[in-house]
Amino acid sequence: MEIIAEIGQNHNGDISLAKELIHAAKENGADVAKFQLYNAKSLFPQEGNEWFEYNCQTEISRDQLNILVKECNKCGIEFMASPFDIERVQWLEEEQVKRYKIASRSIQDEALIRRICRTQKPIIASLGLWQENELPKIESPKEVSFLYCVCEYPTPLSHLNFSAVDFTNKYNGFSDHSEGTVASKIAISRGAKIIENHFTLDKKMHGPDHAGSMTTKELKDITDFRNDFQTALSFKSDDSKTYFSLNNKP
């Protein structure tokens, strides 16, 4: 069961802040520090987009990518990214990443998905914008893990509809855009093996994602819950027999 700290754009274009976020993610129990790789002018609309300058500011260059990968390796946390074009898949191949994340907005980008599949590496895909009942057919030679996701920022708990979400046979995990830690904990308790959550050092920072992101305290709360949940599930039958014999002596 793993926790992905989605740093995304929350580094605000500051590599020093990005490094601080990487270390904070590791220190508070995350297994993965995740970023987004894009050409801002191609990916984001300019007209009517109040965050366009911010989007451009947070675009990660090729050299910055190398710095971030090295920083993750240094502190012992997996680097992961959602690439939004084929060129940036090549960047990630050059950095020898372990696996790929396909963002909700890319789930119907067939050319991008084919290129990622050709890397022959595991894939995690969010389905926030997938409208079909059946899962997407991603022809990958490696494992494809699908994340249940609702593309509302933030997502009201009443819109999650967890009672209809199958974390055993359909979805492998949950990409959480709700406030607080309740939704992630419910997903874990219902069988989610992957939890992805936006991550920030301060919800009041400038940027579109900070307010709906988990803080270091919330990340620690989720990872502690995950660890306790796994401990509770690991109770062995031998321990039960020992307890029974000690407490039922004649």
Q: Which domains does the chain have, with CATH numbers?
A: 2-234 (3.20.20.70)
Report the chain's mean pLDDT, rounded to a whole number.
Answer: 93
Burial 140-179 (b: 16+ CB within 10 A, else e): beeebebbbbbeeebbeeeebeeeebebeeebbbbbbbbb
Q: Residue 144: is its pLDDT beyond 50? A: yes
Q: Is the pLDDT of residue 245 over 50?
A: no
SS3 154: coil
pLDDT, tens only, 1-44 = 999 999 999 999 999 999 999 999 999 999 999 999 999 999 99
- Between CA 100 and CA 163 the distance in angstroms is 29
For residue 246, what pLDDT is reported?
A: 46
Digit-coded pLDDT (tens) for 201-243: 999 999 999 999 999 999 999 999 999 999 998 866 555 454 4
- Count other Cβ atoms within 10 Å, centred on residue 33: 27
